[in-house]
A and B are shown apart, each in its own frame.
Chain A
């Protein structure tokens, strides 16, 4: 008698498409792509059960480089599209990719309310403190004294603090990762996906073209010397006082993910779909 066939475990390679990334050589986003695929394989997911949604920017090219369903959407609106998708298709694992410009500036308002709403999504922001695709303008996370031709003497503006803002707005999972540690980043992304609710992962991903000094990040990034907390105030204090290079899961709460209440007279997405079908 033949023994039942055991399916071979899926490999990270199975999540990589045939399209070759066009990022600059040395860009941290290559490693983030590798972390995405490793995390999916680790969770034994299948490409047809995952949707990768993005906005605009270097980091937002990621959906095309995977074999998953992809949606390369409008600038800053990836979270809106992803929320709709997850509510209509709760069976899908929805991962959203963004950058510090797309996510914190153009999409800043969506970011706040996605944290509040707590839909079961994983939001990955590749932060390089610059608009790379449009050739080096300062972004919300750029240091106030970063001197460049486009911002002589620096912007003088206070930097946006995404992790604390996510906590204050109600994100259920908050982590910081570093692209120079793709295996560690894969573990964090996998944990973010496993955790119900809105999971926010900020990945420090150097832009070697416009911020070559970010090559130094590999000397600065290190595991956070604290364990994950479920106390948002404590996590916020820790994040506000660290130097921005503590890596790990910094907060994990227990909020119930958002589910729309579909009461009497309200229609389900499938009803609406049937109504609009030609």
Chain B
């Protein structure tokens, strides 16, 4: 029960932040990515601002053995840079630039973004649904013929 309550609170902060910052406005996101247009710096302030509490959260995490509500902390940050990370990120970035939406704002805007946001959201869910077999193919070890 407490876990769900704190998840709701965390999601509430996330949703409120996305809403207040203007990150559900696709023009702001595309305006930040478009270095040849009327450049909009807002996104940099959002990302930078969000990293401040997170930076301290990671420091506090070091002082605790377990989370406040029990369970375990996520494992140490993996450092493996592979094709999967880069290919996936390039695909994500291309879609992000095309529509001006990423997963968080796509959810936060569902109540007021209108049909366009729902079309994007449903397509995003479809993309996530077909991901497991694609990932299996990408990570399958090469067949040895020798």
Asked if chains A and B come from one complex, the reply is: no
